[in-house]
Amino acid sequence: MSTEQKPVHEGYGYQTLKGKTTICGILETATAFEQAAFDFYTMLKDKVSKNLRPFVQELADEEKRHFELFQNLNEDPHVPEQMQEWIKTPPSDHRFSAYIQTPQLNDLLDDQAILQYAMGREQAAMEQYASLAKETPPGPIQDLFRYLAQEELEHKNELEKRYYELVHSGGV
């Protein structure tokens, strides 16, 4: 018998698990995303023009509430049994995870650049949560992902509206 170890990718169910992750891992990433979103919008509120500040504060408050929803999932008795279940990794996962890193605010020079970045962030979140809602088993986690997909879509739509108003008012 050989003592040589085979790389994991040559067996051990690698092909079965490739492209999958645990619900626990997904929830950790999503929680970090919502924390980063809260931090981003909180830092941003004093950097945007005065007419955008109340809206940015509203986004920060909503992202904080999303973070708290993930934190409160642990109180549901059905959640612990789902934490180690494997689900398909959403196609948007890499893009979603990239938004956990908050950009340097000096990289976003004006309201237009800020709104463009925020629209991309909300689009990534909406795609991620919609995909996760399809992959997770029925229950509180799936319900939360469905709810958040809708919330992020509403954020994105409002950002697009603000962006359109800004661009067409000559405020670029």
Supply the DSSP string of 10-48, one letter for each residue: GSTTHHHHTTEEEHHHHHHHHHHHHHHHHHHHHHHTTTS
**The pair of three-digit structure tokens given for residue 119, joined into one six-digit string:** 């629209």
Number of helical H runs and strand E runs in the chain = 7, 2
CATH class in words for 15-168: mainly alpha
Tens-of-pLDDT digits for all 172 residues of the chain?
444 444 444 445 444 445 788 999 999 999 999 999 999 999 988 889 999 999 999 999 999 999 999 999 978 888 998 998 999 888 877 778 877 877 776 766 789 988 998 999 999 999 999 999 999 999 999 999 999 999 999 999 999 999 999 998 865 5
User: For 44-57, what is each residue's pLDDT tens digit?
Assistant: 888 899 999 999 99
Name which of 36, 44, 34, 43 is nearest 114 in CA terms: 44
